[in-house]
């Protein structure tokens, strides 16, 4: 009898120990909630809010006081109160439907269509330095990218051909600088001059670089053009430009 009692006692104790072990296994460790990342001072991606500014989906660091002030001043200079004309919107209505599909075909961001607005006001004249056409090509650069210039022929004045040449040039600039913002700055200042400044300043963020006066405001001017064309009412303009359906283009080199 004593032996049977001892065996029964051991069985009960073993069962209780097993139950306690199971309960311990069922205890779930508390899950730690990840701490949300602190917002960066310099925004690197555009979140498409109406109050954010960007060029080619590379956001302007609007939280920087100096950049913010510079952008507001540029927008003020491009507002209807200063310009007193809707001429740029009218020209955009006529020429953007030609330019936009070519940019897409070459993989160039749509925002580069504003370069002719800043460079030439969508006019095809020739500057005192010899730059000509909507994209303001110098003769040597134009020839390098396949345009005929000379002997009574100047293809810089041809909207389609000059846009194709501009796309080839911009694509090469992006390959060199790996930034659409820097590619736009190099379009204005020349790739060699911009590369020299990047090396000298040890800085490749356009908005933090110290550049000559024209190039230093160039991207700001492009963003301002984008604003007054895409959101004209915000700057006192009548809404004239509307995105037209892309026209079908033939293949080109």
Phi, psi of 247 (to 5 degrees): -80, 150
Closest CA to 54 of 234, 198, 179: 179
Asked if 110 and 89 count as a contact pair (C-beta separation under 8 A), the reply is no
**Predicted confidence pLDDT, tens digits, the chain (253 residues):** 444 444 444 444 444 444 444 344 344 344 433 333 333 333 344 444 445 789 999 988 868 999 999 999 999 999 988 888 888 888 898 899 999 999 999 999 999 999 998 987 767 678 878 899 999 999 999 999 999 999 999 999 999 999 999 999 999 999 999 999 999 999 999 999 999 999 999 999 999 999 999 999 999 999 999 999 999 999 998 877 555 444 444 333 3
pLDDT of residue 241: 58
Asked if 226 and 88 count as a contact pair (C-beta separation under 8 A), the reply is no
β strands within the chain, DSSP E:
54-55, 58-59, 149-150, 153-154
Q: Provide the token pair at 218.
A: 């160039």
Domains, the chain, in order of start with CATH, read 105-235 (1.10.530.10)
pLDDT of residue 69: 94
pLDDT of residue 228: 92
């Amino acid at each position: 009898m004593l032996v049977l009692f001892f065996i029964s006692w051991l069985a009960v104790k073993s069962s209780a120990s097993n139950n306690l072990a199971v309960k311990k296994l069922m205890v779930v460790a508390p899950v730690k909630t990840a701490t949300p990342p602190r917002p960066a001072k310099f925004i690197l991606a555009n979140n498409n809010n109406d109050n954010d500014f960007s060029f080619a989906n590379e956001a302007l660091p609007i939280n920087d006081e100096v950049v913010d002030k510079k952008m507001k001043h540029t927008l003020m200079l491009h507002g209807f109160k200063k310009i007193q004309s809707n001429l740029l919107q009218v020209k955009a209505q006529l020429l953007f439907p030609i330019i936009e599909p070519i940019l897409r075909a070459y993989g160039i961001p749509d925002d580069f269509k504003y370069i002719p607005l800043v460079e030439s006001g969508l006019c095809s004249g020739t500057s005192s330095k010899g730059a000509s056409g909507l994209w303001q090509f110098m003769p040597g650069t134009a020839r390098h990218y396949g345009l005929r210039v000379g002997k009574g022929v100047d293809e810089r004045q041809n909207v389609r051909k000059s846009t194709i040449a501009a796309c080839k040039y911009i694509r090469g600039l992006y390959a060199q600088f790996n930034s659409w913002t820097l590619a736009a700055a190099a379009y204005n200042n020349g790739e060699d001059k911009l590369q020299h400044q990047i090396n000298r300043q040890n800085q490749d963020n356009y908005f933090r670089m110290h550049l000559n006066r024209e190039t230093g405001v160039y991207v700001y001017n492009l963003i301002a053009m984008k604003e007054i064309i895409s959101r004209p009412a915000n700057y006192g303009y009548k809404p004239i430009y509307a995105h037209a359906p892309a026209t079908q283009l033939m293949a080109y080199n």
